[in-house]
Amino acid sequence: MNQHDIAENLERNYRAFTGLIISLNEEQFLFTKDNKWSAGQQAEHILRSVKAVNLGFTLPRFVLKISFGASNRPSKTFDALVERYKEKLAAGGKSSARYIPKAVAFHQRKNICEHIVRFNESICNKLNSYSEIQLDTYILPHPLLGKLTLREMLYFNIHHVKHHEMNVRELLKL
C-alpha cells in the first residue's frame, strides 16, 4: 500500500469503528460478558493506541532514529503483518498495561470517539510529510510486535481498529 492507500484505509476503518460506537445505546456500550471488554473499553483502548502512534509521528525524524534506530529490512506486507499479529495473539499475547482500559462511562462515548477521529486525522496529515522510503526506514516500538517500520505501524492501525470493531460486533451479536 502506498501513502494514499494507507490514509484511505485508516480513514475508512476509524470512521466505521467510531460510527459503530456512537450508534450504540447505553446498554450496548456498557455490556460485557466473560471478562471481555465492553464497547466503551474497546473504544478507550483504540484511543490509547492511536494517541501513542500519533505521538510517534509527531517526533522529529532525528529523534526517531536516535531513539529507535533504523530498519535493517524491508517492510512486511499488510497481510504478513496481520498474520504475525494473529500469531502473537494466538500464542497468548495481550495488551500491555498501558493500553488496558478501565471501565468507561456512557457519557464519555462522544468525547472518546471525537478524540479517536482527531488523532487518526492527525496521523493521516503527518503521513504526507514522509516519503515512501522514509516510511520503510524509520521505526517505532510496538508492545507486542517489537520494532515496526512506520509503514508497518500504519498497517497495524488499519487492522487493529477493524479487529476491535469486529470484537464489539461479536460481543453484541451485531
pLDDT (tens digit per residue) in 114-123? 999 999 999 9
pLDDT at residue 78 tops 90: yes
Q: What is the pLDDT of residue 174?
A: 87
Say which residue the cell 494466538 belongs to.
90
For residues 111 and 118, the answer to whether their CB atoms sit within 8 Å is no
Q: Taking the mean position of all CA atoms in its chain, how far away is CA 58?
A: 16
Total tally of structural domains belonging to the chain: 1
Q: Strand ranges (DSSP E) for the chain?
A: 139-142, 146-149
The pLDDT of 51-77, averaged and rounded, is 96
d(CA 153, CA 170): 25
CATH number (domain holding residue 121): 1.20.120.450
Residue 97 belongs to domain spanning: 3-172
**H or E stretch including 66?**
helix 61-68
**H or E stretch including 141?**
strand 139-142
Residue type, 79: D
Angle at alpha carbon of residue 158, lines to 34 and 92, rounded to 5°:
40
Q: What is the mean pLDDT of the chain?
A: 96
How many CB atoms are located within 10 Å of the residue 141 CB?
A: 13
Summarize pLDDT for 126-157 with one digit per residue, the tens: 999 999 999 999 999 999 999 999 999 999 99
The pLDDT of 36-48, averaged and rounded, is 97
Claim: this prediction has a pTM higher than 0.85: yes
